[in-house]
Amino acid sequence: QITLKESGPTLVKPTQTLTLTCTFSGFSLTTNGVGVGWIRQPPGKALEWLALIYWNDDKRYSPSLKNRITITKDTSKNRVVLTMTNMDPVDTATYFCAHRQPTYDLDYWGQGTLVTVSS
C-alpha cells in the first residue's frame, strides 16, 4: 500500500525559505520509472506542477520557479524534500507530493499541507 505524507511549516514569512518533506512508504524510489512530484494549489485555484525527481536522480522543475526550487531525495529514509527560496504571499497554497508511476501519471497523493506566507 502506497502512502505519502507532507510535512513542514504551516506559516512562513516573506523572503524566507520553505522546506517541505514528503515521507513515503509502499514503494522504492530506486525502482525504474518511479518518481515523486510536488504540486501546489492556491486557495480556490487550480493545481500547479512544481517539480519531479526520478528514480535515477534526474530532476525536473517548473520553468517559472526553476530559480527558486530544489528537489532532493533520500532513498534510505524514503523521503523527498522540496526547498523553495524567497517565499512570497502568492506562494500561499496547499502543497502536495505524489507518486509518479512508470505510466507517467500521479497515482497516489499525500493529503497536502497548507503553507501560508505572511508577515
Partner 1 sequence: DIQMTQSPSSLSASVGDRVTITCRASQSISSYLNWYQQKPGKAPKLLIYATSSLQSGVPSRFSGSGSGTDFTLIISSLQPEDFATYYCQQSYSTPGTFGQGTKLEIK
Residues that bind partner 1 (CB under 8 A): 37, 39, 46-50, 52, 60-63, 96, 98, 103-107, 109-112
Cα separation, 51 vs 49, in Å, equals 6
Residue among 75 and 111 whose Cβ is closer to partner 1: 111
Residue among 16 and 108 whose Cβ is closer to partner 1: 108
Cα separation, 82 vs 71, in Å, equals 5
Query: What is the Cα Rg of the chain in Å?
Result: 14
Shortest Cβ 115–partner 1 spacing (Å): 15
Cα separation, 16 vs 74, in Å, equals 24
89 three-state secondary structure: helix
Shortest Cβ 119–partner 1 spacing (Å): 26
Residue among 2 and 15 whose Cβ is closer to partner 1: 2
Shortest Cβ 13–partner 1 spacing (Å): 26
| 34: Cα separation from own chain's centroid | 15
